[in-house]
Amino acid sequence: MTGATILLAIFDGVAYAALVFMVAVGLTLIFGVLRILNVAHGSLYAIGAYLTASIGGAIFAMGWSPVLAFPLMLVSAALVGVLLGAPMERLLLRRIYHRPEVLQLLVTFAVFMILEDVQRLVWGNQPYFESSALALLGNVQVFGVYYTVYQLILLPLVAIATLIGLRLFLRRTLTGKLITAVTEDREAAQSIGIDADRVYLLTFVLGAALAGLGGALASPTTSVLPGIGAEMIVLSFAVVATAGLGQIEGAALTALMIGLGRSFAVYLFPELQVLVPYLIMLAVLLIRPEGLFGSPAARKI
């Protein structure tokens, strides 16, 4: 590989990592607080993408300005968080917190199955493609190769902003501190009077909205079609486990490793591309069983 192609591979890797991080961060957050691996996260991602692509397509066709694509992404994310995340937590998950982990996971698996069909019933089978946001920002040329500003610059910026924003939110604001307290020790937090129910609801809505935002951000770059959630969820699982459970910085680092690993694979061994996330996960967990940033859990006696 020449210096130029190495740089090209890094650009592609960073752009992809940004997207992976945006999807995995919501799952990481929910897992950190609720200790639930939300399989339906993939569906929330897909629905975020569908909302953005379909509403965007409709309003741009009516002549609205394509600049609205950006606020629309936030609106879609909020819709996913409030209309899907909140009822899911209140009506389903809340009933099963005291039950074994496997039942909690299966509840989200059931929701995943239901939402897969809901997507098809609402949006049909034809792929949606709505790339106004991408077209609006144009291209930049690097070493004679065109990149979209959206993927090369905007997505990494959004990912970094999300990472910093979440850090500040969790460490500097009261709500954030409450969430952190529940993450660290659920019972202790409750015993000092923290309303865990509220924290759970809030976290789940936030996590779901982040899944929706991930989908919304991905939508201008890809076809939105049935089944996109199923692939994304496994990738997110790999990120969450590799990162160390609930570790947002870990998720960022893992996403970067996966993104770079994947793009270098395309340049060097294209056939290995799909294996990269899982190989990274195995390698990390072999060396650090609790994940990159995880700490060993206290032993139960």
Partner 1 sequence: MTRTGLLSATILGAALALSAPAAAQDKPESLKIGITTFLTGPASVFGVPARDAAEMLIEQINADGGIGGVPVEASFIDEGAGGEALTTEYRRQVEDEGADVMLAAISSGNCTQLAPLAEDLQVINLMWDCGTQRIFEEGDYTYVFRTQANATPEMLASVLYLLRQKPDFQTIAVVNQDYAWGRDSWDIFSTALKALKPDVEIVGEFFPAFGAPDYSTEISRLSAMRPDVILSTSWGGDLDTFVQQAAQRGLMNQSTFVLPLAESSLERLGTALPDAVIVGARGDHYFQHPEMVGQEGFDSFVADFRDRTGAYPIYSVFHMAQALSALEAAYETAIEQNGVEWPTEEQVIATLEGMEFQGFGRPVTIRADHQGVEAQLLGTTTTDNDLGFASLTDIAIYDGGPLTTPVGENSIEWIEALDPSFVDQVTPTTFD
Partner 2 sequence: MSVRLILPALAIVALALVPPLAPFLQVLLTLAMAKGIAVMGVTLLLRAGQVSFGHALFFGIAAYGAAFLAASPLDDLLLLLLAGALGAGIAGVLVGLFVVRYRGIFFGMLNLAFSMIFWSILEKFYYVTGGADGLRLPRPSVAFIEMDRGPYEVLLYYASLLLAIALGWFVVRFLASPVGQLFQTVKTNETRLEYLGVSARRTLLKGYVLSAVLCGVGGVLMAAAQGIVTPSYAYWIRSGEMVFIAVLGGAGSVVGAFAGSIAYELVRSYAAAFAADAWQMVLGGFLLAIILFAPGGLVGIYAAFADRIGARRAKSASKKEAGT
- Judged by the rule CB under 8 A, the positions of this chain that interact with partner 2 are 37, 39, 92, 95-96, 99-103, 105-107, 109-114, 116-118, 120-121, 230, 234, 237-238, 240-241, 245, 271, 274-275, 278-279, 281-282, 285-286, 289-290, 299-301
For residue 122, state whether it binds partner 1 (rule: CB under 8 A).
Answer: no
Q: Is the CB of residue 224 less than 8 Å from the CB of residue 46? A: yes
* # residues near partner 1 by CB under 8 A: 45
Q: Is 3 in the site for partner 1 (CB under 8 A)?
A: no
Looking at beta carbons only, is 99 or 143 nearer to partner 1?
Answer: 143
CA 176 vs CA 22, 146, 189, 259: distances in Å: 19, 41, 13, 29
Cα(224)–Cα(220) distance, rounded to whole angstroms? Answer: 9
266 binds, among partner 1, partner 2, none (CB under 5 to 8 A by kind): partner 1
Asked if 89 is part of the footprint of partner 1 (rule: CB under 8 A), the reply reads no
| Distance from chain centroid for Cα 14 | 15
What's the rounded Cα separation, in Å, for the pair 23 and 177? Answer: 23
Nearer to partner 2, 166 or 238 (CB): 238
Six-digit token string for 242: 């590799």
87 contacts partner 1 (rule: CB under 8 A): no
Q: Report the partner that residue 134 touches, choosing among partner 2, partner 1, none (CB closer than 5 to 8 A by kind).
A: partner 1
* Max CA pair span of the chain: 66
Pure H helices in the chain? 3-34, 41-61, 69-79, 86-87, 101-123, 132-137, 149, 155-172, 174-184, 186-191, 196-218, 228-243, 248-268, 276-287
List residues binding partner 1 (CB under 8 A).
Answer: 4-5, 8-9, 11-13, 15-16, 19, 120, 124-127, 129, 131, 134-135, 139, 143-148, 151, 218, 221-223, 225-228, 231-232, 262-263, 266-267, 270-271, 273-274
